[in-house]
Amino acid sequence: MLSVLGARATDLLLRGGEEARASRRLAVIAAAIVLIVVGAAFTTDALYIRAKAALAQVLLERAWATTLATGQPTKAWSWADTWPVARLTFPSLDRSAIVLEEAGGEALAFGPAHVAASAGPGASGTTVIAAHRDTHFAFIKDLKPGDEIDVATPEGRTVRYRMTGSAIVHAQASGISAGGKTPRLALVTCYPFDGLTRGPMRYVVFADALP
């Protein structure tokens, strides 16, 4: 009795299965294609942003050379809404980057940005420079207290800073003020370093100018 029922059920399933299988196959293929297309989109977008960040630094090098030669702010490309204001060098990590003025809020896509509310690069007070943790400041976590950081200004001056320590702060309550009698540097990036989503916490490297 049971085996008869089982055989009928199998029979039913198999006969009705022709149609169901066809539409199931379609659904699976469609799902796979959607996954691949959207996945490709995400990957392309991310790689595009990273490529743009790297390419911009090349163009910025050129603009920076002009800035040094002329003493005039020089945009790296004519439609840029920002311009180089300093060059950051990390001798211990063999890294350097051109710092942009934070003008239109989009400077960060192209390089580290000088936060306009803070002191000018190399000047007395605290100079705040921020960059994306996944592009230009990806290496900032490797800086150690005592490491040297050089800031070159458009006037051709280079101020050497030494890292004194680091802090993790809230973006809206950084406790960093622009004032102060001696030049100080605060390099900012997102925290945690390997976090996947955007958060409110920032990692700040502090450095004091060497006398």
Q: Which one of 118, 149, 183, 205 is in contact with another protein (CB under 8 A)?
A: 118
Q: Is residue 142 close enough to count as binding another protein by CB under 8 A?
A: no
- Taking the least distance from each CB to another protein, the nearer of 84 and 89 is 84
* Amino acid type, 159: V
- Taking the least distance from each CB to another protein, the nearer of 52 and 144 is 52
The first and second tokens of residue 140, run together, are 């900032």
Residues 48-87 that bind another protein (CB under 8 A): 48-50, 52-53, 62, 65-66, 69-74, 77-79, 81, 83, 85
CB 62 within 8 A of CB 70: no
Given the rule CB under 8 A, which of 8-16, 92-100, 143-151, 199-207 is the region that contacts another protein?
199-207
Binding track over 98-117 against another protein, x by CB under 8 A: ---xxxxxx-xx---x-x-x
User: What is the sign of the dihedral through the CA atoms of 50, 55, 60 and 61?
Assistant: positive
Is residue 113 classed as helix, strand or coil in its secondary structure?
strand
Contacts of 63 (CB under 8 A, 6+ apart): 74, 75, 76, 83, 84, 98
Residues 30-49 that bind another protein (CB under 8 A): 31-49
Report the DSSP beta bridge partners of residue 37. none
